[in-house]
Amino acid sequence: MALLQQKTLLLGLSFFCMTFMVSSHSRQYTPPSVPRLTDLFSHVSVDQGFSKAYGLQNIKVFNNGSMATLTLDNSSGSGLESKNKYHYGFFSAAIKLPAGLSSGVVVAFYLSNWDMFPHNHDEIDIELLGHDKRNDWVVQTNIYANGSVTTGREEKFYFWFDPTQQYHDYSILWNSHHIVFFVDNIPVREFPSTGAFSSVYPSKPMSVHVTIWDGSKWATHGGKYPVNYNNGPFVASFANMEITGCASNPAAPADSPCPSEASGSSADPVQGQDFAKLSSQQTTAMDWARRKLMFYSYCKDISRYKNLPPECK
């Protein structure tokens, strides 16, 4: 009987450890060292760079505009939108996510032009998806080009830290060479503009958006765990906003190039050769992130794609 109890205890401890591992992705790994791209660009105040887009009562700006909080409650989500549209650039925000049970909550930092091109819009997304009782927050990256929502190119990653305890940097580099997604300056994904990717590469000027909203229908396990407003309100904090790029001229055609492409000027600071490809250090770090932390890629989803997109082959 004692032996049976001992085996039962060991099985229970084993199950607990497995559960702890599943719910503790953010504490398993030490990331490689990389150059800090976020140190290369100046911060912009919230009031200077953004307008309040919706949920005005749920947006608070403080510390002379250097920080903001966005809230999701049972009345509304909330969001900011950049005052300018950009054709290429480096875009970044330090974000602290809501603590506690937050299934169905989506905090997003992304570029989009759906307002100007409702039927053929482009989008470059960092979406932070709330957790249920067993899983941490996850980061989803996605890319749309020319409007088809059926061709979203999602990849999902676990964190190597707890994103609710302090601010962490989430960044997007977009130029004519590639799109790169960064978490704390670690590249987690690169989407080149050449080869099989060229037909699905975002090309039109976009606004920068910062939002928190209810993604109950899809965000956590395909909508299995909706937002429970008894756990709210859900507050996301933002700081160290960076918007550095080629601001679009409203009078120019939508697909007109940045001056740096046409004349080699410095109007677009991320179009030069320093940003044309990842360094060996960054490539090593990205390989680490994708091996250790990526748990979903559209290129492996054969149930969704009978014929995988060309770039997956």
Q: Is the pLDDT of residue 287 over 80?
A: yes
- Which one, of 119, 173, 126, lies nearest residue 146 by Cα? 119
Q: Is the pLDDT of residue 22 over 50?
A: no
Query: Using 50, 70 and 90 to split pLDDT, how confident is the model at 6?
Result: very low
Q: Is the pLDDT of residue 25 over 80?
A: no
- Strand 67-72 and strand 59-62: the pairing is antiparallel
Lowest mean pLDDT among 55-59, 280-284, 306-310: 306-310
Q: What is the mean pLDDT of the chain?
A: 85
Burial group, residue 180, by CB count within 10 angstroms (0-12, 13-18, 19+): buried
Check residue 203 and give its pLDDT: 86
Distances (CA, A) of 163 to 150, 166, 201: 30, 6, 30
154 is catalytic: no
Instruction: Report d(CA 1, CA 257) in Å as an integer.
Output: 77
Q: Is the dihedral of CA 213, 219, 222, 224 positive or negative?
A: negative
**Both tokens assigned to 310:** 């060309």
The helix (H) or strand (E) run that includes residue 96 is strand 78-96
The catalytic position among 81, 123, 155, 190 is 123
List Cβ neighbours of 135 (8 Å cut-off, separation of 6 or more).
Answer: 22, 23
- Which one, of 215, 213, 202, 245, lies nearest residue 92 by Cα? 245
- Which one, of 120, 126, 124, lies nearest residue 178 by Cα? 124
- pLDDT of 128-165, one tens digit each? 999 876 668 999 999 988 766 556 799 999 999 999 99
Query: Helices marked H in the chain — which ranges?
Result: 2-22, 46-49, 259-263, 280-292
190 is catalytic: no
The catalytic position among 81, 127, 190, 242 is 127
Q: Is the pLDDT of residue 106 over 90?
A: yes
Domains for the chain: give ranges and CATH numbers: 53-249+260-312 (2.60.120.200)
